[in-house]
Amino acid sequence: MSRICQITGKKVMVGNNVSHSKRRTKRKFYPNLMNQKFYFEEEERWVSLKVSASGIRTITKKGLKIALEEAKEKGFIDNY
């Protein structure tokens, strides 16, 4: 599984390391991803997701069902 949040769609970004002499080399910025289990009350079961910290905040704010439906609409997740 790749490093993509299943709720927000955040993924690896590319940028530059800049040294003191301003020499630039490529680097990657990784999202803050965690494997997390959430209890899906409507279906009375647990759902395992790979989510970022902002994805956990989204689930807390909107609720798991709405967050999963929006992620499915946007194509971040196939099924849950």
**Total domains in the fold of the chain:** 1
pLDDT tens by residue, the chain, 80 residues:
589 999 999 999 999 999 999 999 999 999 999 999 999 999 999 999 999 999 999 999 999 999 999 999 999 999 88
- Domain span at residue 38? 13-74
Whole-angstrom Cα distance, residue 49 to residue 25?
Answer: 33
Q: What is the pLDDT of residue 7?
A: 97
For residue 68, the domain's CATH number is: 2.30.170.40
Domain-embedded: residue 4? no
In a domain, 79, yes or no: no
Q: What pLDDT sits at residue 1?
A: 58
- Cα–Cα distance for residue pair 49/47, rounded to 1 Å: 6
